[in-house]
A and B are shown apart, each in its own frame.
Chain A
Amino acid sequence: MTQTLGTPAPAASPTRRLEIIDFLSRYGTLIALALLIVFNLIFTRNFATLQTLNVNLTQVCTIVIVAVGMTLVIATGGIDLSVGSLMAISGALAPMIFLGKIVPIDNVYLAVAAAMVLAVAVAGLLGLFNGWLVAQFGIQPIVATLVLFIAGRGIAQVMTNGNLQTFKIPEFQWIGLGRFFGIPIQVILMAAIVLLAAWCLRRTVFGRDILAIGGNEKAARFAGIAVGRVKLAVYAISGLCAGLAGLVVIAINSASDANLVGLGMELDAIAAVAVGGTLLTGGKATIIGTLLGALTIQLVRYTLLANGVPDAAALVVKAAIIVAAVWLQRQGRTS
Chain B
Amino acid sequence: MAEDLLLSMRGIDKRFAGIPALSQASLEIRRGEVHALIGQNGAGKSTLIKVLTGYHRRDGGEVVFDGRPFEVHSPQQAQAGGISTIYQEINLVPFRSVAENICLGRETRRFGLLHWKAMHQEAERLLARFNVRLDVRRPLMEFSTATQQMVAIARAIGFSAKLVIMDEPTSSLDEQEVQVLFGVIRQLKAEGVSVVFVSHKLDELYEVCDRVTIMRDGRTVRAAEMSAIGKLDLVSLMLGRDVRKAEGHATAFERHVGAGNGEVLFAAENLASGQAVHDVSFQLRRGEIAGFAGLLGAGRTETARLVFGVDHPRAGSMRLAGAPHAPRGPAEAIAAGMGFCTEDRKVEGIVPEMTVAENMMLAVLPKISRRGLLDDARQKEIVEGFIRQLGIKCSGPSQKIRELSGGNQQKVLLARWLATDPRLLILDEPTRGIDVGAKGEIQRLIKDLADKGLAVLMISSELEEVVEGADRIFVLREGRSVAELDGEAAGEAEIMAAMAHGSAHREETSP
Whether B373 lies near A218 (C-beta < 8 A) is: no
Whether B366 lies near A205 (C-beta < 8 A) is: yes
Q: Is B114 an interface residue (CB 8 A)?
A: no
- Closest chain A residue to B346 by CB distance? A216
Query: Given the complex of chains A and B, what is the CA–CA distance between A283 and B334 in angstroms?
Result: 23
User: In A95-133, which residues have CB < 8 Å from any B CB?
Assistant: none
Counting chain B residues whose Cβ lies within 8 A of the other chain, the interface size class is 35 or more
Q: Which interface residue of A215, A220, A221 has the most chain B CB atoms within 10 A?
A: A215
Binds A, one of B223-231, B270-278, B349-357: B349-357
Partner of B365, one of A15, A205, A215, A216: A205
Query: Given the complex of chains A and B, what is the CA–CA distance between A220 and B359 in angstroms?
Result: 10
Whether A14 lies near B348 (C-beta < 8 A) is: no
Known A205-B374, A208-B365; contact A216-B310, beta-carbon cutoff 8 A: no
Whether B362 lies near A279 (C-beta < 8 A) is: no
User: In A13-70, which residues have CB < 8 Å from any B CB?
Assistant: 14-15
Binds A, one of B27-35, B54-62, B209-217, B289-297: B54-62
Whether B69 lies near A212 (C-beta < 8 A) is: no
User: In B413-440, which residues have CB < 8 Å from any A CB?
Assistant: 416
Residues of B with C-beta under 8 A to A209: 365
Whether A222 lies near B372 (C-beta < 8 A) is: no
Whether A225 lies near B57 (C-beta < 8 A) is: no
Residues of B with C-beta under 8 A to A3: 69
Mask: chain A, 270-284; 1 = CB below 8 Å from B; 0 = not: 000000000100011
Q: Is A308 an interface residue (CB 8 A)?
A: no
Q: Is A219 an interface residue (CB 8 A)?
A: yes
Whether B59 lies near A216 (C-beta < 8 A) is: no
Mask: chain A, 180-217; 1 = CB below 8 Å from B; 0 = not: 00000000000000000000000111101101100110
- Closest chain A residue to B363 by CB distance? A223
Q: Is B250 an interface residue (CB 8 A)?
A: no
Whether B374 lies near A221 (C-beta < 8 A) is: no
B417 CB, nearest partner CB in chain A, Å = 9
Whether B348 lies near A218 (C-beta < 8 A) is: yes
Residues of A with C-beta under 8 A to B342: 219, 222
Q: Which interface residue of A204, A205, A206 has the most chain B CB atoms within 10 A?
A: A205
Q: Is A320 an interface residue (CB 8 A)?
A: no
Q: Is A260 an interface residue (CB 8 A)?
A: no
B356 CB, nearest partner CB in chain A, Å = 14
Residues of A with C-beta under 8 A to B358: 208, 211-212
Partner of A15, one of B59, B71, B353, B362: B59
Q: Is B121 an interface residue (CB 8 A)?
A: no
Residues of A with C-beta under 8 A to B137: none
Which of A's residues lie within 8 Å of B, judged by CB?
3-4, 7, 9-11, 14-15, 203-206, 208-209, 211-212, 215-216, 218-226, 279, 283-284
Which of B's residues lie within 8 Å of A, judged by CB?
15, 57-60, 62, 69, 71, 308, 310, 329-331, 333-335, 340, 342, 347-354, 358, 361-363, 365-366, 369, 372-374, 416
Interface pairs (30), CB distance under 8 Å: A3-B69, A7-B71, A9-B60, A10-B57, A11-B60, A15-B15, A204-B374, A205-B372, A206-B372, A208-B361, A208-B374, A209-B365, A212-B351, A212-B354, A212-B358, A215-B351, A218-B348, A219-B347, A219-B362, A220-B362, A222-B310, A222-B330, A222-B340, A222-B348, A223-B330, A223-B334, A224-B329, A224-B366, A225-B362, A283-B353
